[in-house]
Chains A and B, each alone.
Chain A
Amino acid sequence: METNTETLKYLPLNDVHVALGGKMVPFGGFIMPVRYSSDITEHNAVRQNAGIFDVSHMGEFWVRGEKALDALQYLTTNDVSKLEIGQAQYSCLPNKQGGIVDDLLIYKVQETDYLVVVNASNIDKDWAWMTANDPVGAEWENRSEQTFLFAVQGPKAAGMLQSLTSFPLDSLAYYTFTRTEFAGVKDVVVSATGYTGAGGFEIYGPMDQAEKVWNAILEAGTPLGLIPCGLGARDTLRLEMGYSLYGNDLSDETSPIAAGLGWIVKFNKEFIAKDLLAKDKAEGVKQKLVAFVLEEKGVPRSGFSILSATGEVIGKVNSGSISPVIEKGIGLGYIDSAFAKIGTEIKIDVRGRQLKATVAKLPFINQSVKS
């Protein structure tokens, strides 16, 4: 791997992951566990039972004060004013050209306190962008290095974690959260969100308590089948749901409208590049991000060409893998909008073999997201 190891950061629990058998690889500027046992075992554990991911590499910013709402309204595309205390919202940061600086989650923690969670590889970029383009001057604090984030994902997550808190976890609706004592640690954010579509929780707390909380979760969950899971499973789980990955499917050059994120762009407020995105929406975009499933045996990979049924190049694959659940090659890619309708027959050029594929509806699997 041609990565400059000098600039890579280690997770605070790196030694814990190594001791658990984690295979550590560079990702997003960090040395991260890619798998502990096998990608498919970990994937299936999350779909059927539960798995725990250490995603403490993610970035956490706090935005506070009377001006916090106005700052976030202008910097992000979704309508932050709709958030009640205890609710989370998926959104993105548009740049001035109508591309995407990052996609993110916003949590309304108090009336004037918001927690913003960003991608690890974008922490420095987002921090610079948000603080420089905040038009009103909210209070900003970057707590990325002081905050752990564990995702405990899967249909059995609530049952495994309930012994660690008095808060009734089953009562947390999707995209809501609570701040509560958890595993003996105060003010832990327990959020019914995730990147897998399998249900479960994302748990944020102070980094100096990370090992204590990790061990408490494993101790409570292991007898019930909880296993540690790595980035390999995280990627196939998100891809089966069709969730975008920044750097693969989203970039500074992609419009959220083209990326299928029109549902998080709300035009009833002012925000960066509103006019450009309104134009994208009204006039349509040349290329759209579509999901596709291979009808023949093969695995699509990032960069492979997407062809029309008659063989002309109409786009390329941004994310591709195999779905452990449907056992077919699946992927996401931008293609000419004329071919973007669900059911359209296309082809994927897999190293010179043109394999039949179909533009598919998301998610690829039958999975009702529930925690």
Chain B
Amino acid sequence: MNFPENLKYSKDHEWIRVEGEYGYVGVTDFAQNELGDIVFVEITSLGQVVKSSDIFGTIDAVKTVSDLFMPVSGEIVEVNPEIEKTPELVNSDAYEKGWIVKVKLQNAAELNDLMDAASYKKSIGLA
């Protein structure tokens, strides 16, 4: 499993890649592997401000469904248009083509509460 160094990770198994005042959010390689084949990603919060740790959507795998939790507070400004047609991108390319939402950060200080790659790996028992 792969956990890029340039991302921050939440205990709910989301990652965020910060670009200026925006961040791209997806689920980790560990999460997609636990869920299995992703068949549907439903984002109900486009245009809304979602607080850190609150639900911003759901992700359906063949076998199970899981809520998606915001790693930091922010406004959902974009949903990855590719994953509506090709949700399996979340499985095949969790950190690049499989990003789920783009958010406008509300409080960049919250990023300090997230884990780096090494801490995240440790939290899932891989280090």
Q: How far is the CB of A165 from chain B (nearest CB, A)?
A: 34
Q: How far is the CB of B57 from chain A (nearest CB, A)?
A: 10
Task: Render A306-327 as a binary contact track against B, CB cut-off 8 A, 1 for contact.
Answer: 0000000000000001101000
Q: How many residues of B contact A (CB 8 A)?
A: 12
- Please name the 7 residue pairs, one residue from A and one from B, whose CB atoms are nearest each other, closest first: A39-B62, A299-B60, A232-B63, A40-B37, A322-B39, A39-B37, A39-B36
Query: How many A residues are at the interface, by size bracket?
Result: 10 to 19
* Given A39-B36, A324-B62, 7 additional A-B pairs, CB 8 A: A34-B63, A38-B36, A38-B37, A39-B37, A40-B62, A298-B40, A322-B62
Partner of A35 from B36, B39, B42, B60 at Cβ < 8 Å: B36
Pick the most buried of A43, A235, A299, A301: most chain B CB atoms within 10 A of its CB: A299
Q: Are A236 and B65 in contact (CB under 8 A)?
A: no
| Chain A residue contacts of B65, Cβ below 8 A | 299, 301
| Chain B residue contacts of A298, Cβ below 8 A | 40, 42, 60
| Chain A residue contacts of B61, Cβ below 8 A | 39
In residues 233-268 of chain A, which contact B (Cβ within 8 Å)? 235-236
Q: Are B62 and A236 in contact (CB under 8 A)?
A: yes
Query: Taking the complex as formed, is A297 at the interface, i.e. its CB lies under 8 A from any CB of chain B?
Result: yes
Q: Are B40 and A299 in contact (CB under 8 A)?
A: yes
In the complex, A324→B40 CA distance in Å?
Answer: 12
Give the dominant DSSP class at A's interface: mixed
In the complex, A297→B60 CA distance in Å?
Answer: 11
Q: Are A321 and B42 in contact (CB under 8 A)?
A: no
Which residues in B have some Cβ–Cβ distance to A below 8 Å?
36-37, 39-40, 42, 58, 60-63, 65, 91
Query: Taking the complex as formed, is A351 at the interface, i.e. its CB lies under 8 A from any CB of chain B?
Result: yes
Assuming A232-B62, A324-B62, is B39 touching A299 (CB within 8 A)?
yes
Q: Are B40 and A321 in contact (CB under 8 A)?
A: no
Q: How far is the CB of A244 from chain B (nearest CB, A)?
A: 18
Pick the most buried of B40, B42, B63: most chain A CB atoms within 10 A of its CB: B63
Q: How far is the CB of A362 from chain B (nearest CB, A)?
A: 20
Task: Render A24-37 as a binary contact track against B, CB cut-off 8 A, 1 for contact.
Answer: 00000000001100
A-B contact pairs, 22 of them (CB 8 A): A34-B36, A34-B63, A35-B36, A38-B36, A38-B37, A40-B62, A43-B62, A232-B36, A232-B62, A232-B63, A235-B63, A298-B42, A299-B39, A299-B40, A299-B65, A321-B63, A322-B39, A322-B40, A322-B60, A322-B62, A351-B42, A351-B58
Closest to A297 in B: B40
In the complex, A43→B36 CA distance in Å?
Answer: 13
In the complex, A301→B66 CA distance in Å?
Answer: 12
Q: How far is the CB of B31 from chain A (nearest CB, A)?
A: 13
| Chain A residue contacts of B37, Cβ below 8 A | 38-40
| Chain B residue contacts of A297, Cβ below 8 A | 40
| Chain B residue contacts of A40, Cβ below 8 A | 37, 62
In the complex, A20→B63 CA distance in Å?
Answer: 20
| Chain B residue contacts of A301, Cβ below 8 A | 65
| Chain B residue contacts of A39, Cβ below 8 A | 36-37, 61-63
| Chain B residue contacts of A299, Cβ below 8 A | 39-40, 60, 65
In the complex, A43→B63 CA distance in Å?
Answer: 12
